[in-house]
Structure formats: structure tokens, C-alpha cells
Amino acid sequence: MTARGTRRYLIGFTAIVVLLLGAWLVLLREGTEANSNDPNWTFNHGSIGNEDTQGLPYWIWRVLPNVFADLLPADQRGLSAVGVAWRAGEPLPVGFSQKTVGVISRVSTNCAFCHQGTYRLNKYDAEVIVSGGAGTRVDAMGYQRFLIAVGKSDRFTPSVIMAAIKSRYAMPLWERMLYRHILIPATRVQLQNQATAFSWAGSRPDWGPGRVDMLNMAKLNNLGLHDDGTNGSADIMPLWRLNTTTATNQRRFALHWDGLSTDLHETVLTQAITSGMTYDTQPGVDGNLAKIEDFVSVATPPPSPFLPTLTPVDPYYVAPGNLVRGAEIFADTCAICHDPSGARYRLPVSIAEVGTDRNRMESWSKDALQQFATYQNGHDWDLDYFQKTNGYLATDLTGLWLRAPYLHNGSIPNLTALLTPPAKRPAQFWRGSDLVDTKNGGFVSSEGGDPYRTMVPYDTTVTGNSNSGHTWGTDLGTADKNALLAYLKTL
């Protein structure tokens, strides 16, 4: 090669190195996030390391609900259409994190996207947000389908998106160029790829508000297993008082609906993995994951509004005599499974005994167990506590008044129905309300029963939605059943 050719080669090579280094600095370099010493804030907004894989550039994410309002799943404004809550004064809704990657701020979901509860004691009340709640109104599938529809829309163009951003933010020239020519086209491709990764959900029944299928997400998107056609849809569990799962010298306590893990740390870690955290991003969020673990260990729901100290005409009044008798029945009938001191607490009860819908249990396979145990072989994820069970977990009942609908698949609308023999339970009801049902316990579940919430029908004849099983307490006499109902409302 001539001296002139060598010089051109070096100039060209140097230019490529500078370009790649610049791209890394601008788009990929691990950045910073807003932080707080408040574990509650970290639970609601802390990064779990998925901004690189699942995050959207902030200003694109910010304008999507306005530009594509017609693609949201309900006739509401903004992300309230998918049931997420937004505390006044906070820059993001509950369940969203914001982190700078390179020089671009990106937004992604975290644990609280699903695990956020709300309630209203009266029809006209403003919602009260409960961290770590059961997420009874969150429509995770609706949010995913919204993003997929956006990615397919002919309106997702640099001109349209930049016009929407300009109406909100005086973006400097360098950032406008970056958004217009790189970030918007790349985001469209990302959302189209998301559609492919999520295509398996099209063959399953709609999750509806308050439910997710994390098992199939893990099996198909993380583990790369063959689609076995199972339906793992289940209610979003609340994350309260999980310090009761700390292992003792005598036993380990299980988590998840079917007890598929017996270690809280491992559960937090794998939920982050399933949500998009990678081995490369984990070190940057280990502190957040530790705070989240600490938070769910001690978090508690607000106390039940059902009280014996109210006047008898108050809809939240419970008679003292019923409470005393109900507590006795609970101790005799329920405590062995549902009290932390009970012998069967947080142990799986066999499907033959509990008799509830089998689908979620069957979706967690031995193949998934083995694949997760050796996930990304070569990386030390240290996942040692997965197991395959043949039933569902006997969990605690902390905040029972905020957990409706009931059973692992949310197939029973209220506590009255839970104490009713399966054949007489409602075959269809409506989900999506956070207005407390003062008569039956749980939330309002009739069509049109809550005019301020979008509610959707739940059909117990659909695969995975059976309301069979869990017959404890259904054979009580009327007086004892009313007493147990009164006591359960106060939990």
C-alpha cells in the first residue's frame, strides 16, 4: 500500500472509531437516573435495568398517548386508559422509571407498573393509591397492544412525532436531529419487533384489567421454549409483608400463586429479568433491586375501613358480635393455611384438594424450571430455588379488602361469592372498578356499577377463568357465614 493509501486508510479508520465512540456516548453509554433514599419511591419509579431493551426515548413516550389517543383501549385520556395511577406532582405515573442512556432520557416500566393498587370508599371520592397493591385496574395487555398498534401506524413518522414534541418542548437543534433521524425510526422498529415477540398472546384469551401471564412471557421471550399453548393468566398479586417468607431452620416458604420459588431475592431478580433486565445492566440496578426487596418485605396496606366503632347506619359498620364469632370461625377453618403461624402457610395445596382452575399451574412446566435454573449458562444468576408444584399456594390475607377479585385467576368477584358453593357463584361479572363493595366485600362488580371506571366482563367459562374450587366456608350456616364475611372484610 502506498503512503497516500495508508494515510487514507488511517483517516477512514479513525473516522469510524470516532463515529462509533460518539454513537456509544450518545446512545448506549450507561447513564444516570433520578434517585431517592425513600424505598417507596424506588419501588414506584426506580430502574430495574430494562431501559436498554424495553425503554422508549422520553419525548416519544410522552407524546404517544396524545398523538395516538384513538389507539388506547378505553375512552379515557392518557395512560389512565390502561389503569395506571399518577400521583400529583410526580413526573411519571406509578410504575415508570426514567434513566439517561447515553445522552437520551429513556422511560420504561418497573415492578410497580403491575403492583399498584387504588381504591375509593365512595363513588365521588378521588382514588387513593396503594403502593405494592394488587393492581386490580392495570391493563398490562392493553398497554402492550397500544404500543404495538402505534408501531404499525402510518402516522408514526418523524414529522408527526416531532410536531407533537415541539408543542411541548423547545428541543435544541442537536437533539431534534437525533430524534428525527435516529430515535424515531429506531423506536418504530423496536415497537414492530415487540409485536413479533408478543404475538403468542394473540392465541390466548384477553388478560383484562388486573391480570398478566408472566409465565408465558418468561418461557417464550426469555427462555425461548416452544409455545405449548398453555394459558398462564393470573391475577396480579399484592406485595405486602413478604418478610413472612423468610426461611427458617424448619422450612422454606413459597411465593407466586403456585409456589414456583421459595426465595424472595430470587423472585425479585427473575421478575426484573422477565421485564427486560440483562446481565450487563444488572450491576447498575442491584441497589434498586435490594431496596425493592426491602420495601416489599415490610410494606403494608392501609387498614380496612370496615370497623365496629362506626354507627350502625354507616355502610362500613360491622357488628362487634359478628367480628368475635367470625374470628373464631377463621381460626378453626382458615388459619391453618392463611395465618403466618399456620402449618400450611405458604405451602402449595394440591390441585386435587383445592379444586381451582388448573391452567396457571400447568403453564409452569418442568422444562421451564430446568431452563431457568441454567438461564444464560455462563452468567452467574445464581437461581437455586425454583420448583415445580402440583397446586396453588396458601397465602396470607393481608389487605384482603383490597385484593378482589379472588382466587389466583380472579374468578370470584367478592367475598360473599367466595363463601358460596361453586355452582351458585356468578358465571359472569365485571372487572375494573376500585370502588369498595360495602355489602359483599371486594369491589363493585356489576355492569354499570361504577360510572367512573371502564369495566370489562369476566366470563368464567373461558379457558383459565373457572371459578371452581376453594369450598372452605361454603357449607356454613347463614349466621356463621355472615360472621365470617364480617371478619374477612376487616383483614
- Per-domain residue ranges of the chain: 1-29
Output the pTM of the full model.
0.90
421, with CB counted inside 10 A (0-12, 13-18, 19+), is exposed
Find, among 342, 310, 238, 345, the residue nearest to 486 by Cα: 310
Report the alpha-carbon distance of residue 151 to residue 404 in Å, rounded.
Answer: 34
Query: Could you give phi then psi for residue 395, rounded to 5 degrees?
Result: -95, 170
At residue 299's C-alpha, the angle toward residues 56 and 340, to 5°, is 130
Report the alpha-carbon distance of residue 432 to residue 418 in Å, rounded.
Answer: 18
Displacement of CA 223 from its chain's centroid (Å): 20
Q: Output the pLDDT for position 76.
A: 67
Give the orientation angle of helix 58-67 with respect to helix 158-166, to 10 degrees. Answer: 100
405 CB-near residues (< 8 Å, 6+ apart): 136, 210, 235, 411, 412, 413, 414, 429, 431, 442, 443, 445, 458
Q: Are 307 and 487 within 8 A, CB to CB? A: no
Q: Output the pLDDT for position 5.
A: 53
Q: Output the pLDDT for position 32.
A: 53
In the 3-class helix/strand/coil scheme, how is 343-383 assigned residue by residue?
A: CCCCCEEEHHHHCCCCHHHHHCCHHHHHHHHCCCCCCCCCC
The pLDDT tens digits along the chain (491 residues) read 565 555 554 444 333 333 333 343 344 445 555 667 889 999 999 999 999 889 999 999 999 999 999 999 876 678 999 999 999 888 899 999 999 988 899 999 999 999 999 999 999 999 999 999 999 999 999 999 999 999 999 999 999 999 999 999 999 999 999 999 999 999 999 999 999 999 999 999 999 999 999 999 999 988 889 999 999 999 999 999 999 999 999 899 999 999 999 999 999 999 999 999 998 899 999 999 999 999 999 999 999 999 999 999 999 999 999 999 999 999 999 999 999 999 999 999 999 999 999 999 999 988 888 888 788 777 778 888 999 999 999 999 999 999 999 999 999 999 999 999 999 999 999 999 999 999 999 999 999 999 999 899 999 999 999 999 999 999 999 999 999 999 999 99
Q: Are 401 and 490 within 8 A, CB to CB? A: yes
